[in-house]
Amino acid sequence: MRLAILTGGSKGLGLALCEALAGRGYRVLEFSRSAPHTYSVRVDLSSPSGSQHIVAAALATLGGEHIEELLVINNAGTLDPIGPASRKQRDAILGNLNANFTSAILVLTEIVAHFQATKCRKVLANISSGAAQKGYAGWSLYCAAKAGMENYIRALALEQQAEPHPFIPVNIDPGVIDTDMQALIRGSSASDFPEIERFINRKEQGALVSPAIVAAAACRILEQPSLSYGARYEVGDHGA
């Protein structure tokens, strides 16, 4: 089987990725809180150790079926809470960093360990953001987590190149997508997010790309035979 495992496939880009991958013949395993699909597993990534256990248990149910190709996508993400760093509450800080960073790494660790010896093409993609490379006032936690995940992928790529049956870790910048995440941004306030007007204008000018178009471009990137270990790909260069 061709197996795709991804987080955050309940809506937005992740949902479009699930549909695109299922349409391409992948068996999909999806992790999110709302877990809407027959192939979903319910998990709240704001709880790191719980997430790791749930993912480990789900992988154990896959059995020994032959895997021809494995695609892993760290897609789940949250901007919440938007606002100045000085006004953020402890639990909200931990929830954001756990979902965007700590649990993402725990989940990827579990998946890499489970399939390290599997002999097939294995690609591990982190859905990143422009916020990994640029600071945005009001998004300090998101920016920190996205930057951390990008560099985690680069380090993992160096390790994987020394493995006999490596994963190819890559970062993908999906551009600006018409999802609930953008709606959350437009629904914030200028005092919490000074650039809000620019994001409202983007929506009004039709500059947001549909999740289906971004997912198709991401699939084209991931299907390239010559993916580079640790590279950063932009969907805008691949038809989105």
Ligand X SMILES: NC(=O)c1ccc[n+]([C@@H]2O[C@H](COP(=O)([O-])OP(=O)(O)OC[C@H]3O[C@@H](n4cnc5c(N)ncnc54)[C@H](OP(=O)(O)O)[C@@H]3O)[C@@H](O)[C@H]2O)c1
Which listed range, 18-26, 76-84, 155-163, 217-225, lies at the site for ligand X (CB under 6 A)?
A: 76-84
* Contact predicate 73/4, CB 8 Å: yes
From the list 28, 58, 99, 108, which residue makes contact with ligand X (rule: CB under 6 A)? 99
* Contact predicate 177/208, CB 8 Å: yes
From the list 127, 141, 143, 240, which residue makes contact with ligand X (rule: CB under 6 A)? 127
Which listed range, 72-80, 84-92, 108-116, 154-162, lies at the site for ligand X (CB under 6 A)?
A: 72-80
Query: What does the alpha-carbon distance between residue 45 and residue 83 come to, in Å, rounded to a whole number?
Result: 21
Amino acid at 165: H
Q: Is 96 in the site for ligand X (CB under 6 A)?
A: no
Site residues (CB under 6 A) for ligand X, limited to 168-207: 174, 176-177, 179-182
Least distance between ligand X and beta carbon 130 (Å): 6
* Contact predicate 37/26, CB 8 Å: no
């560099």: which residue's tokens?
A: 151
Q: Is 159 in the site for ligand X (CB under 6 A)?
A: no
Query: What does the alpha-carbon distance between residue 166 and residue 151 come to, in Å, rounded to a whole number?
Result: 18
**Which residues lie below 8 Å from residue 210, measured CB to CB, with a gap of 6+?**
16, 177, 178
Least distance between ligand X and beta carbon 177 (Å): 4
Q: Which spans of this chain sit near ligand X (rule: CB under 6 A)?
A: 8-14, 32-34, 43-46, 75-78, 99, 127, 129, 174, 176-177, 179-182
